[in-house]
Chain A
Amino acid sequence: EAGVAQSPRYKIIEKRQSVAFWCNPISGHATLYWYQQILGQGPKLLIQFQNNGVVDDSQLPKDRFSAERLKGVDSTLKIQPAKLEDSAVYLCASSLNPRRGQETQYFGPGTRLLVL
């Protein structure tokens, strides 16, 4: 079974530029998550989707970050405009259905973003 796929793996941009990350979850997984992991810290949830609806985006900086999961499968996370403090690894994860007790999240390889 294929795992969570993410692209690109690495991205270097200058501040004030825009960037987008893509994630394809494990097939059949209803729930998709985007996390931000700053160096030396644990991942922090940015947004959670259940199918194509947003469940939790309370920690998403909505003035510059946006995410969508239009067809309930793959998802895109965008930053516009980027700031230096956005340099981090952006992790995508998916789970089968936490509402049914299927809680375990499986993570992709992440996208390492460096903002100069």
Chain B
Amino acid sequence: AQKVTQAQTEISVVEKEDVTLDCVYETRDTTYYLFWYKQPPSGELVFLIRRNSFDEQNEISGRYSWNFQKSTSSFNFTITASQVVDSAVYFCALRAGSSGSARQLTFGSGTQLTVLP
């Protein structure tokens, strides 16, 4: 079975603060993919990043950065110098396994980020 835990239900920060969203995953498979999606109030899930289990290199894209650590089964997401437009629900997701239902994309419960002006 696979599971994604986002322990932070809601986070509020003031604009320009840095914020880290936590994601812990569980899987017995050695090959898997991890994702982050953003869901603004409009409702559409916007793809942010995908990492595979063989690539632990951290990634930076503008104000966004991701820290993948297999040793702790975590894939945390940091927004630097947050902006009001970053306010949204952020989902971490896992896709693992080689066949059947194990290849489902399993989502965490999401973290509601509110950036205050």
Contact = CB atoms under 8 A, between A and B. Distances in A.
Contacts of A14: none
Interface residues of A, number: 23
A42 B97 CA distance: 20
Contacts of A30: none
B62 interface: no
Contacts of A107: 37, 44-47
Interface string A97-116: 01000011111111010000
A41 B111 CA distance: 10
B104 A56 contact: yes
B59 to A, nearest CB: 14
A37 to B, nearest CB: 9
B43 A110 contact: yes
A55 B29 CA distance: 20
A45 B105 contact: yes
A5 to B, nearest CB: 11
B95 A103 contact: yes
B50 interface: yes
Given A42-B107, A43-B107, A104 B101 contact: no
Nearest to B50: A104
Interface in B13-40: 33, 35, 37
Contacts of B45: 43, 91, 93, 107
A110 B105 contact: no
A44 to B, nearest CB: 8
Interface of A: 33, 40-45, 48, 56, 58, 89, 91, 93, 98, 103-110, 112
Given A43-B107, A107-B45, 13 more contacts: A41-B109, A42-B108, A45-B105, A48-B104, A56-B100, A89-B43, A93-B45, A103-B95, A105-B35, A106-B47, A107-B37, A107-B44, A110-B43
